[in-house]
């Protein structure tokens, strides 16, 4: 299997360019179903140890069924599949340029949850226009054992988020382990109390944020991703979800820049425009996220006969 590795503001993306599963014809959603239910060993092979590690997000390049798109992509991680991935979209665009498949300017990329527009501004900098983002439920209270009541919003940004109001701890790396522990407990409590997104979708991302008046940054965040790891980048879908809440609260005007910094110090620049179509009965926005990605490696992953870990080392106890 041939892959290109990159990182977007610190968060890794592994793009499969050859040797992935054959998923047949049909819509991207149908091919995602085949990947998930019939060829999941390819995901484990590419992502899990000993060839990968928990923080990597994978991206399988596919032929798009939308002829206006330059590529289709299915995103996945250490525990399953993602509808959309913001940092991964930036990584895919930079990878396609590195491979000579696209040039500067605007291109369309198809994902299982919709088509996104990417604007390649340089060999490393990309802006992408995300799918619609909206706040589904406001001021949701979740009871967390040993912690108490935590209030936040349920928001769609391409994935489902619980955006906590504020943060239980300062968002610094010294607090990382405790932030992981608390966010995992919130996620488990949401599932236990059946607090979901639209159509009973699991809320599988937890986001804490600290809004601050800084010279070059508006907010710092921490995002727990599916699989129990934190996002090293500011999270593209999480930033989109944040913008939807800011727009709904009248705290950010259309087109106004919002600089989102991750707990590691990586930064995205976001802005939005209103979506004229209601999403699940809610007002929505179209977020534009700008960030930088860098190629890290060009690798051939190999499986040999009798390798007991040929399809990865997996753990059943991931949060």
Catalytic residues: 85, 235
Which pair of structure tokens corresponds to residue 56? 């990597």
**Which distant-in-sequence residues (6+ apart) come within 8 Å of 135 by Cβ?**
153, 154, 155, 241, 244, 245, 248, 282
For residue 126, list its beta bridge partners.
Answer: 120, 291
- Enter the DSSP assignment of 281: T
Alpha helices in the chain (DSSP H): 28-38, 40-47, 86-98, 176-192, 236-248
Q: Which residue has the tokens 């002829």?
A: 67
Which residue in the block uniquely carries the two structure tokens 């300062």? 170
Distances in Å between the Cα of 300 and the Cα atoms of 21, 22, 41, 297 are 15, 18, 17, 10
Omega before residue 63 within 30° of 0, cis: no
CA distance linking residue 264 with residue 172, whole number of Å: 8
User: How many CB atoms within 10 Å of residue 126?
Assistant: 24
Instruction: Give the burial string for 38-61 (b: 16+ CB within 10 Å, else e).
Output: eebebbbbbbbeebbebbbbbbbb
CB distance 156 to 134 below 8 Å: yes
Whether omega before 231 lies within 30 degrees of 0, making that bond cis, reads no
């Amino acid at each position: 299997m041939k892959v290109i590795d990159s990182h977007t503001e610190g968060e890794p993306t592994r793009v499969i360019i050859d040797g992935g599963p054959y998923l047949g014809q049909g819509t991207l959603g149908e091919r995602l179903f085949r990947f998930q239910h019939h060829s999941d060993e390819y995901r484990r092979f590419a992502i899990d140890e000993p060839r990968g590690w928990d923080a990597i997000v994978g991206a399988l390049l596919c032929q798009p069924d939308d002829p206006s798109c330059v590529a289709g992509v299915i995103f996945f991680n250490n525990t399953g599949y993602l509808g959309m991935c913001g940092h991964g979209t930036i990584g895919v665009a930079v990878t396609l340029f590195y491979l000579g498949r696209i040039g500067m300017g605007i291109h369309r990329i198809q994902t299982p949850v919709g088509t996104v527009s990417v604007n390649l501004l340089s060999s490393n900098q990309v802006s992408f226009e995300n799918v619609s983002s909206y706040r589904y439920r406001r001021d949701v209270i979740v009871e967390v054992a040993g912690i108490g009541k935590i209030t936040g919003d349920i928001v769609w940004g391409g994935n489902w988020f619980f955006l906590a109001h504020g943060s239980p701890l300062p968002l610094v790396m010294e607090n990382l382990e405790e932030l992981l522990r608390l966010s995992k407990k919130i996620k488990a409590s949401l599932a236990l109390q059946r607090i979901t997104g639209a159509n009973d979708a699991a809320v599988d991302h937890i986001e804490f944020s600290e809004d601050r008046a800084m010279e070059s940054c508006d907010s710092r965040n921490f995002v727990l991703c599916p699989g129990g790891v934190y996002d090293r980048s500011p999270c593209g879908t999480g930033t989109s979800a944040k913008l939807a809440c800011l727009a709904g609260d009248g705290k950010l005007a259309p087109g106004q820049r919002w600089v989102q910094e991750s707990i590691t110090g990586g930064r995205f620049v976001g802005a939005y425009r209103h979506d004229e179509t209601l999403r699940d009965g809610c007002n929505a926005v179209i977020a534009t996220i700008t960030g930088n990605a860098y190629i890290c490696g060009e690798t051939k992953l190999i499986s040999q006969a009798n390798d007991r870990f040929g399809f990865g080392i997996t753990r059943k106890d991931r949060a």
